Amino acid sequence: MKPNFPSQIDIRRTLPDKVELFDTTLRDGAQTAGISFSVEDKKRIANRLAEFGIEWIEGGWPGASPKDDLFFELMKARDWNRSKLVAFGCTARPGQAVQDDRGLNRLLESGADAVCIFGKSWDIHVTKALGISLQENLSLVRESVAFLKQHFETVFFDAEHFFDGFAANETYAMQVLDAATEGGADAVVLCDTNGGSIPFQVFEVVSQVKQHLTDQVIGMHAHNDCEMSVANSVAAVRAGASHVQGTINGIGERCGNANLVSIIPVLQLKVGVDCGVSAEDLTQLSSLSQFVNEMANRLPWLHQPFVGQNAFAHKGGIHVSAIRKQSNLYEHMDPLLVGNEPRILVSDQAGRSNILSKLQELEPDFVLTPGDPAVAEALQRIKALEASGYAFEGADASFQLLLHRSMRRFKRHFELVRFRVYDEKRGHHMDTESEATVQVRVAGKMIHAAALGNGPVNAMDRALRAALVDAYPSLETMFLTDFKVRVLTTKEATEAAVRVLVESSDGQHKWSTVGVSTDVLEAAYRALNDAIEYKLVRDNVPPPEAENAESSCQK
């Protein structure tokens, strides 16, 4: 693929033709605060990484925990075509022969395809943390690597704290790399362990290492404490590194590790360096990111570059108008290349292009022109409603109903007569009981229903559907999946308006609706009303002729 950078920059002068990717999500990423992978989680993530095409997958540290031991035992049955499993460890402990070191022997028993061990490259860590001489540390590095090379085809050496060590004692830091190379290391990996380096520094240091070790594979392992781990990794490749370590979504200790989800498309699509990931596999990058978030029980970062829901979202009318003519006017790349898609947001910043683009996304078979009066009316309604607190960015179903109203295509399936909600608490330690009663009119017939629920909104939802299910049986499959409340302003204290966002599902599809009021139950009703109406519209259920053609929840 042709690299995406100005032709006058001779960037390929020192770039490697190929970079091998080394994923440490299951080891370094697992040290993230708040993340605890089960053995089954680790197994599923490892297999998904292998399916994606990551060349080296670090599984953990054998002997560090029963979980890691069980993981490596289970992974002995792996069946990977392109990927190799790596076990992590450290150089032998001082004061004993390397062949007797328990940690190194646990690596031999792991069943991994390769090993990666770290050693000290900052002189103060050697003398203070390990309490040994600088020369003894060099021997440990050399002999540990050499011992492992007798048993593994591939051995990686992580030079811990290399950039800090290089700044403090350049000669000794280089001697550590020499020792690992003499031991037979297949790659020496320069670690920015404290995450304090910047791209200019990384480029200069890696360039010097590359000149010193001309025939050695140089790697980069960056942490994100200055939010430069991706930039530092790319700078290292620019200087000649051909091995890059990182994690999916940049998870890791403190501020995280270098994010492979960003590094891969930057190197492969922007710079033109082969990362060993096919174009077809690259389209799975977004789903891989989502999968790891799911396994880690983390909410996705909506603004994450390349794969986030808002990475290619457009809100301003001028932007939307431009990308409808040519997408790269406001998109740096085709989002489909990484499995993402453009997203048109509808808000008070919207123009007619937003309306048309969103309509095309939601109803591809329905065509409106920019001059259609329905477009102008929809735009006016949106701006008026958002001025009162509505937000349609996360409520596509409410937006679609609004378009139907503007196009005179909407008729209500029912009319609310009244609703009442009771909350009762008996005793200090008893749970609150919620009960809702509703009265609705369908085709001129009055219907009354009541229901208990886990909270007032759940009770209202159940009562509404209980009242309507005889007339509209498809509502029996519908249920509430999420409910969010946001106070729009605190200036009026308890009189402040609230916005309620409801997510509903019928087991096959999910949709979101919104309601706003100074009364949280009224706001919830408006969102629930739209949710039910949308379900019936989607199911092509005809409304009774007797009902009003305008929805009460948006008056």
CATH of the domain at 130: 3.20.20.70
Return the higher-pLDDT residue of 508 and 171: 171
Cα dihedral 233, 234, 236, 242 sign: positive
Question: What 8-state DSSP symbol labels residue 267?
Answer: I
Tell me which residue of 257, 268, 264 sits closest to 227, measured CA to CA.
257
> Which of the pair, 424 or 260, is modelled with greater confidence?
260
Split at pLDDT 50, 70, 90, the class of 367 is low
Does residue 550 share a domain with residue 471?
yes
pLDDT at 348: 45
The three-class DSSP label of residue 91 is coil
Look at residue 408 and tell me if it is in a domain: no
Q: What is the pLDDT of residue 122?
A: 98
**52-61, 277-286, 319-328, 391-400: least confidently modelled range:** 319-328
* Nearest CA among 19, 47, 64, 18 for reference residue 189: 19
Average pLDDT over residues 45-53: 95
Asked if the model's pLDDT at residue 117 lies above 70, the reply is yes
Report residue 365's pLDDT band, with 50, 70 and 90 as the boundaries.
low
Report which DSSP code applies to 266. Answer: I
Whether 7 maps to a domain, the answer reads no
Q: Is there a domain that residue 398 lies in?
A: no
Same domain? For 379 and 505 the reply is no
Nearest to 335 by CA among 361, 363, 309: 309
For residue 494, pLDDT over 60 is answered with no
Pair of tokens at residue 198? 């910047």
Label residue 312 by pLDDT band (50, 70, 90).
confident
What pLDDT shows up at residue 325?
64
Residue 9 predicted with pLDDT over 90: no
110 in the same domain as 28: yes
Q: Running DSSP on this structure, what letter comes out for residue 277?
A: -
- Binned at pLDDT 50, 70 and 90, residue 5 comes out as very low
CB 261 within 8 A of CB 306: yes
Return d(Cα 389, Cα 35) in angstroms, integer: 36
Mean of the pLDDT values across residues 40-57?
95
Task: Find the mean pLDDT for residues 234-262.
Answer: 97
DSSP three-state, residue 490: coil
What residues contact 374, with CB distance under 8 A and at least 6 apart?
368, 403, 406, 407, 408
Given 262, 295, 328, the domain boundary residue is: 295
CA dist 305 → 15, 23, 312, 335, 504 (Å): 24, 19, 9, 10, 28
For residue 480, the model assigns a pLDDT of 87
Q: Do 381 and 462 belong together in one domain?
A: no
Please determine, for residue 427, whether its predicted confidence score (pLDDT) is greater than 90.
no
393: pLDDT confidence band, cut at 50, 70 and 90? low
Residue 492: other Cβ atoms inside 10 A: 11
| pLDDT at 198 > cutoff 50 | yes
SS3 call for 5: coil
Phi and psi angles of residue 297, each rounded to the nearest 5 degrees, phi first: 55, 45
Q: 272, 2 in Cβ contact below 8 A? A: yes
H/E/C letters for each residue in 410-479? CCCCCEEEEEEEEEECCCCCCCCEEEEEEEEEECCEEEEEEEEECCHHHHHHHHHHHHHCCCCHHHHHCE
Q: How far apart are CA 193 and CA 159, in angstroms?
A: 9
pLDDT(318) > 60: no
Write the CATH number for 510: 3.30.160.270
Residues 275 and 369 both lie in one domain = no
- Within 8 A by CB and 6+ apart from 10, the residues are none
Contact (CB, 8 A) for 487 and 517:
no
Domain range holding 324? 313-387
pLDDT at 553: 41
| Residue located via tokens 């808002």 | 310
Domain count across the chain: 3
* Residue where one domain finishes, among candidates 340, 367, 387: 387
Q: What pLDDT score does 346 carry?
A: 53
Domain endpoint, select from 344, 370, 387: 387
If asked whether residues 124 and 257 sit together in one domain, one would say yes
Which tokens sit at 238? Answer: 């620019």
How high is the pLDDT of residue 487? 82
State the DSSP string of 94-148: TTS-GGG-HHHHHHHHS--SEEEEEEE-SHHIIIIII-S-HHHHHHHHHHHHHHH
Note the pLDDT of residue 549. 44
CB atoms within 10 A of CB 116: 30
| CA–CA distance, 360 with 337 (Å, rounded to integer) | 21
- Mean pLDDT, rounded, for 149-159: 98
State yes or no: pLDDT of 262 exceeds 80.
Answer: yes
Over 80: is that where the pLDDT of 143 sits? yes
Q: Is the pLDDT reported for residue 320 higher than 80?
A: no
What is the CB-side half-sphere exposure of residue 410 using CA atoms within 13 A?
Answer: 22
What would the mean pLDDT of 514-530 be, rounded to a whole number? 92
What's residue 297's pLDDT? 80
Q: Average pLDDT in the 64-74 region?
A: 95
- For 293-325, the three-class secondary structure string (H helix, E strand, C coil) is HHHCCCCCCCCCCCCCCCCCEECCHHHHHHHHH
pLDDT at 119 over 60: yes
Centroid of chain to Cα 49: 15
- What band does 7 get if pLDDT is binned at 50, 70 and 90? very low
Specify if 397 maps to a domain.
no
Higher pLDDT, 545 or 124: 124
Tell me: do 351 and 432 sit in the same domain: no
pLDDT of residue 355: 62
| Model pLDDT, residue 343 | 65
Chain mean pLDDT for the chain? 87
Task: Say how far apart CA 418 and CA 437 lie, in whole Å.
Answer: 8
Q: Are 411 and 440 in contact (CB under 8 A)?
A: no
Run of H or E residues at 530: helix 520-538
Which stretch, 238-252, 328-342, 407-421, 467-481, has highest mean pLDDT?
238-252
Residue entry with tokens 């096959």: 508
- Examine the domain organization and report whether 377 and 432 are in the same domain: no
d(CA 274, CA 278): 9
Residues 266 and 133 in one domain: yes
Give the residue, 550 or 363, on which the prediction is more confident: 363
- Per the domain annotation, does 127 fall within a domain? yes
Instruction: Please give the share of the chain, as a percent, with pLDDT higher than 90.
Output: 62
Q: Which of 193-197, 482-486, 507-511 has the highest mean pLDDT?
A: 193-197
Q: Is the per-residue pLDDT at 17 higher than 80? A: yes
92 and 218 part of one domain:
yes
Q: What is the pLDDT confidence band of residue 307, given thresholds at 50, 70 and 90?
A: very high
The dihedral sign for the CA sequence 436, 440, 442, 446 = positive
Q: Distance between CA 406 and CA 401 in Å, rounded?
A: 9
d(CA 270, CA 330): 16
Q: Tell me, yes or no, whether 223 and 327 share the same domain.
A: no
Confirm whether 410 is domain-assigned. no
**pLDDT at residue number 177:** 98
Average pLDDT of the segment spanning 374-385? 76
The residue type of 166 is: F
pLDDT in the model for residue 209: 98
Here the tokens at position 152 are: 């593994």
Q: Which of 263, 328, 253 is nearest to 289 (CA)?
A: 263
Q: Establish if 304 belongs to a structural domain.
A: no
Residue 491 lies in a domain: yes
Residue 236: CA count within 13 A, CB half-sphere: 30
